[in-house]
Amino acid sequence: MGLTNLNSTHLSSAKITAAQDAITALETALAEITFNLSAEDRKRYGSINEQNKLFVNKVYDYNSSQPNLSSPEVDWDEFNKDHSSRNVLEGMISRLESLITRLNNSKTLHDYDNYQSALVDYSYATYKAGTSAPGFEDKYKDLKQFFVKNSTSTFTPEEKK
């Protein structure tokens, strides 16, 4: 028998509710700063590449250490707020991506467990259908549609019609 129950840890109803409430609270807390950009806007504003991030950070460093060298045409208060917000958001995104990866891994194990159990049940239905047990033939016929075999046929396309 193959490996089954790779993930037998399940959240209680209270923990599911708490997690869903926490996600709602996070969405609410961040609503004022989140935007839905169109594909065109994402292309236009895009994420700055790593080289340009280094450039921005160097300008930030110069402004912090030698403000007398900074352009008077730049709103440095806003620049610094943007820089700080960007760093905070990057940290949040990193943590959320890590959480999403772990949630996907957990879901994958539950999916695997469900599939293995479904295969066992299908085998049982196949066996019981062969014994003419009531109801199992219909169940077997209904489930076997998911196991269509790709056979190579000796018929020509005209003979199949």
What is the sign, positive or negative, of the torsion defined by CA atoms of 115, 116, 117, 120? positive
Give residue 28's pLDDT band: very low, low, confident or very high (50, 70, 90).
very high
Is 6 within the bounds of a domain? no
pLDDT digits (tens, 9 = 90+) for 83-138: 999 999 999 999 999 999 999 999 999 999 999 999 999 999 999 999 999 999 99
Question: Count of domains in the chain?
Answer: 1
Model pTM score:
0.74
Q: In this structure, are residues 60 and 78 in contact, taking their beta carbons and an 8 Å threshold?
A: no
Print the domain residue range for 109: 13-147
| Rounded CA separation 25/35 (Å) | 17
Is 137 within the bounds of a domain? yes
Is 93 within the bounds of a domain? yes
Which residue type occupies 37?
L
Which residue type occupies 93?
I
Is 159 within the bounds of a domain? no
Is 7 within the bounds of a domain? no
pLDDT digits (tens, 9 = 90+) for 59-69: 999 999 999 99
Helices (H) and strands (E) in the chain, counts: 6, 0
